[in-house]
Chains A and B, each alone.
Chain A
Amino acid sequence: MSDAPEISTPSFAMVRTLGLVSVICGIIIVGIYQVTLPAVNANKKLALERQVFKVIPSAKKVVTYFATPTGIIAAEGQDQPPAQGTIFYAVYDEANKLAGIAAEASSSGYADQVRVLYAYDVEKQAITGIGVISMRETPGIGDKILTDQAFLKNFEALDVHLADDMKALANAVKTVKHGTKTNPWQIDAIAGATVTSKAVGRGINESAQTLLPKLVPHLEQLKNKESPHDPN
């Protein structure tokens, strides 16, 4: 091939070929996107519900909302919250009563982002359960946050009540060294998996600090809905 004299290709031919290839590829990509879109959305909804049902066992229905500084708005099938908005899930039980709030917390752990979903109990003003959405922590060490009973006990009633001015938590959620937990807003770390434990605590603190001040003043709006609007 290298011995043959260089055949000069007209520039137009090159542009035409690249254009043709791009058009073919564009059609294929858009086609497959359209075909798979319903299945992908259904999968995402299912995965979310499975997570929510794990942290709030009495859940029957999950409705997505955005909490913004001015109030709560229903997501109506949208994915991305508006500017300064935070996504959360209002969870209703069989009798259509507000069973709790679920929201996502994420922070960087030992290997990658640790993403957890936590349940917020409106009456107790406390976090009453967590579930892991995704993590790549070391098997046998960091992934104990899924199984370690003593660690999960931290989230039976983790205190996150707001300060009187409703601007921030009264006490920031904090992960403390294993065996030194004294207050209900502290998380007792797993011995040997401190980095991952701290990531969970930090994520929950960040998420609760931004979400709850925007959410709690408007809770009545969620409770009073006899039949919550289902965007789906």
Chain B
Amino acid sequence: MTPTKTPPSSFDEFLDGIWKQNPIFVMVLGMCPTLAVTVSAVNAISMGLATTFVLGMSCMLVSMLRSAIPKQVRIASYIVIIATFVTVVDYAIQAISLDLYEALGAYIKLIVANCVLLGRAEAHAAKNPPLPATFNALGMGLGFTLGLFMIGCVREILGAGKLFGVALFGDHFQPWVVMVLPPGGFFVLAFWLIVFAAFRHFGNKRNAQLQGAQP
């Protein structure tokens, strides 16, 4: 927080959610859908996009109404707004594909309880104008989608020998069934968390070295 820092542009706000504040790998929020629906890449992307839509729309509406909502009733208002868009997504997915609806199951409705959403509404959208708030929310949503997708790909490839439903290996491939079971979700999440933590660790180290070289 240097005083000379200019206010971040909308694009920076957008990128924040994808990398610097990635909801899954950095903030470790919204673990319920992360572990539950990432058995295949398609499920992961659908869940991610559904969450992105809810995030973007609810943050836009929260931001538009931010001066009209008294502090005392803000949480109730945010939850009503979030629940509305979750219902919208719920109907939309039913209209698009019932198979997908069955695969995602109760987790579509559970988007309401995803802490990424209330967190964004409370920490960002309630304090910023609609445009940056929406950009930030969309970035967060895409970061969430990316995280789900990275977990979903690994689990589908190892657990079913497929990617997007297309078989990758020959008949001799024996799927690692554990990968599509709940423990596999934890294993793959832990693997990606290690990778991200390593990136950050070595990145910080290099920055420190560079600063040390030029005092």
Chain A contacts to B: CB under 8 angstroms:
7, 9, 13-14, 17-18, 20-22, 24-25, 28-29, 32-33, 36, 39-40, 43-44, 47, 134, 138-140
Contacts and interface: CB of A to CB of B under 8 A. Distances in A.
Given A20-B68, A21-B65, A47 B84 contact: no
A47 B98 contact: yes
A9 B72 CA distance: 8
A231 B180 CA distance: 42
Contacts of B65: 17, 20-21
Nearest to A134: B102
Nearest to B87: A29
| Chain A binding surface SS class | helix
Contacts of A20: 65, 68
Interface of B: 61, 65, 68-73, 76-77, 80-81, 83-85, 87-88, 91-92, 94-99, 102, 159-160, 175, 177, 180-181
A32 B88 contact: yes
Q: Which 3 A-B pairs have the closest CB atoms?
A: A39-B95, A25-B84, A36-B95
A22 B70 contact: no
8 contacts: A14-B72, A17-B68, A17-B73, A18-B73, A18-B77, A21-B65, A25-B83, A29-B87
Nearest to A32: B88
A36 B91 contact: yes
B180 A13 contact: no
B76 A18 contact: yes
A14 B73 CA distance: 6
